[in-house]
A and B are shown apart, each in its own frame.
Chain A
Amino acid sequence: MSRGTLVYAAQRLVLITVTAVVVSSIVFIGIHQLPGNALASERRNNPATEAALLHHYNLDLPWPQQYVLWVQGLAHGDMGESLVNMGVQITPLLLREARVSVTLGLAAVLITIGVGLTLGTIAANTWVDYVASTSAVVGYSVPSFVWAFLLILLTVSGFYAWTGGLVYENIGWGKIEQIPVPALALGLPYAAIVARLTRASMLEVIRQDYVRTAWAKGLKARVVILRHSLRNALIPVISILGPLVTGIITGSVVIEYIFGIPGLGQEFVSSILSRDYNIVIGVFTFYAVLIGLANLAVDLIYPVLDPRIRY
């Protein structure tokens, strides 16, 4: 890693921090303008209890003061306490859930890249081209949750009926065999995009002189396709990895909700519905940082694949 790369990475880390702080502040301020809070309910608390609760969460202070306290806490990695489940510290909760979401996301990214590159390479080099290139647009026009429903029908109902009850896909989280189905649903639309891009850039690369030379030298097809063509065809594909990672993280909110996966996305939806604003702000900050880091990782992979790129 050169010095320029380090400086670039440092700049990006600053931007990530700025993004996280700006965005979470906007959310913080926006949410504190809302009428009512998680403590307001139809069940009447006695005034002393209510005052004590408000004081416990600093909600009795004016919001600029609350904001300063919140930022101070954030600087120490403390995102406060859940408003609904009292006594639950948000930071460890979200760290635990982030591990689930990152596992799911990584599995989806692996599927996206694996399936996409394979299909794209096959499409560019063989007769299946026409079929593959028209079906790619179908692949990413079908939203991830529709893929999820189709996959659930196939694995849960289909396999169970066809094997006479031998195979049973249990929707949920916690076992390794529960990862592939949601990850596939999450990754398929993006795999179609990757396949399409790979095909397009592959078609450009295989017309290059050095590829013709490689064929003329009598190299094996595997070597020409994988080492000479694919590696160079990868460069434009890498450029969409950033938006792709953002898309997969966004899609995971819906997929986690459907499959009942205890990740950040599900936490976000349930905390919005239960007005647990402390958690809403926390998840938001987490996601902003996650996406920033993922994009940074993508940018750092660039120079490895294409030595002409330098920061």
Chain B
Amino acid sequence: MAAVPSTVEASQEFLISELPEQSSLGQDAWRRLKRNRLAVVGLVIIAIFFVTALISIVWTPYPTWRQALGTTYAGPSLLHPLGLDDYGRDILSRVMGGAAIALGVGVGASFLASLTGIILGMLAGFFKGKVDALISLTINIFYGVPDLLVALILVVLIGRGLFNIILAIALTGWLGMARLVRGQTLSIREREYVEAARTIGTPNLMILSRHILPNALGPIIVQATYLVPAAIIFEAFLSLLGLGIPPPSPSWGRMASEGYKALQIAPHIVLAPCAALSLTVLAFNWLGDGLRDAIDPRMRR
């Protein structure tokens, strides 16, 4: 996390005798995070899904698109642990493939939205005035618009590929991050160390990247973590409505919407992807809560 500035090394010699143990803010937070049982469980679940997603890229028990592997709507069996869907496709293979899509979209959209939000938020908070007015007005206008509808229209406008879906979700997700970063920047830019940096003539870009960004990083990491499950749910919404990544890609939302027609006779088709989706989202929320408590212990509730 936050790198230790090189000047610390020089001063360490005399500090070591006074302080028995030193640790950076990042190490401190990491230690607190490891003590949080739910956060660790979340982290483990996320790791399992990540590994599953990586494996699914090279290998799944059956190809995710292969139809008529057995009786359609067949329930769980030894050959097909999660059963078969309405086309006779192996649901376990498809849930595995869905993990790659969900995590790809979740992490990708969170990253893109965070990047946009951080840049625009820092610009608004640091330069204030007209820049801030313009960015804040944009945020306020789009805050009052249901993001799902914006994403749906964007998908129609730019197409339904994996990257386009990520783009559509990111374009609606940066507002919250920009608000957060703007607020952080507004308060950090008034601190003494920023004033000191400005006095010795540090260029604005350097102040933003070396002083403001590292000090706002904690809340940013927490917010970015919460953005991942939000994006995953969003992708599921889009797929459910038939406007996600086109078939036969095994998106969890699409699997649920295809299986919904047969919910009463073969609930396993819907329940498998829904369980995977809920578990992933839950894991990220646990991790987010843990990170929030670890990074800012005063926030603990």
Contact = CB atoms under 8 A, between A and B. Distances in A.
A299 B278 CA distance: 32
A258 B149 contact: no
A284 interface: yes
Which of A141, A250, A253, A272 has the largest count of B CB atoms less than 10 A from its CB?
A141
B145 A291 contact: yes
A4 interface: no
Contacts of B240: 145, 254, 257-258
A15 B264 contact: no
Interface stretch (A51-59, A87-95, A148-156, A173-181): A148-156
B242 A253 contact: no
Given A149-B260, A257-B240, 15 more contacts: A15-B144, A19-B141, A137-B282, A143-B233, A145-B240, A146-B256, A149-B271, A152-B263, A153-B264, A157-B264, A249-B146, A250-B146, A287-B149, A288-B146, A291-B144
Interface in B216-235: 229, 233
A64 B147 CA distance: 26
A15 B282 CA distance: 36
Interface residues of A, number: 46
B141 A18 contact: yes
A221 interface: no
A298 interface: no
Given A141-B285, A143-B233, A253-B149, A288 B263 contact: no
A295 B143 CA distance: 11
A272 B241 CA distance: 11
Contacts of B168: none
Contacts of A302: none
Interface in B121-180: 140-142, 144-149, 152-153, 156-157
A19 B263 contact: no
5 contacts: A143-B277, A254-B237, A272-B153, A283-B149, A284-B145
A31 B236 CA distance: 24
Given A143-B233, A145-B256, A254 B241 contact: yes
Interface residues of B, number: 38
Contact of A149 (B38, B144, B270): B270
Nearest to A20: B144
B256 A142 contact: no
A195 to B, nearest CB: 13
B73 to A, nearest CB: 15
Contacts of A18: 141
A292 interface: yes
Secondary structure of the A contact surface, majority rule: helix
Contacts of A149: 256, 260, 263, 270-271, 274
Contact of A280 (B146, B153, B229, B241): B153
A30 to B, nearest CB: 6
Interface of B: 38, 140-142, 144-149, 152-153, 156-157, 229, 233, 236-237, 240-243, 256, 260, 263-264, 267, 270-271, 274, 277-278, 281-282, 285-286, 289, 301
A140 B145 contact: no
B153 A30 contact: yes
Contacts of B148: 250, 253-254
A138 interface: yes
Contacts of B147: 250
A269 B281 contact: no
A268 interface: yes
Given A156-B264, A292-B144, A257 B241 contact: yes
The dominant DSSP class at the B interface is helix
A253 B241 contact: yes
Interface of A: 15-16, 18-19, 22-23, 27, 30-31, 33-34, 134, 137-138, 140-143, 145-146, 149, 152-153, 156-157, 200, 203, 246, 249-250, 253-254, 257-258, 268-269, 272-273, 280, 283-284, 287-288, 291-292, 295
Contacts of B145: 19, 23, 284, 287-288, 291
Residue with the greatest number of chain A CB neighbours at <10 A, chosen from B229, B236, B281: B281
Nearest to A34: B157
A145 to B, nearest CB: 6
A34 B152 CA distance: 15
Most buried by A among B145, B156, B229, B233: B145
Contact of A27 (B153, B267, B281): B153
A134 B263 CA distance: 29
Contacts of A31: 153, 157
B144 A30 contact: no
A250 B233 CA distance: 12
B141 A246 contact: no
A34 B278 CA distance: 36
Contact of A22 (B141, B153, B156, B237): B141
A134 B282 contact: no
B242 A23 contact: no
Contact of A258 (B260, B285, B289): B260
A254 B274 CA distance: 15
Contact of A200 (B140, B263, B282, B301): B301
A142 B278 contact: yes
Nearest to A266: B241
B164 to A, nearest CB: 14
B285 to A, nearest CB: 5
A141 B278 contact: yes
Contacts of A203: 301
Contacts of B286: 137
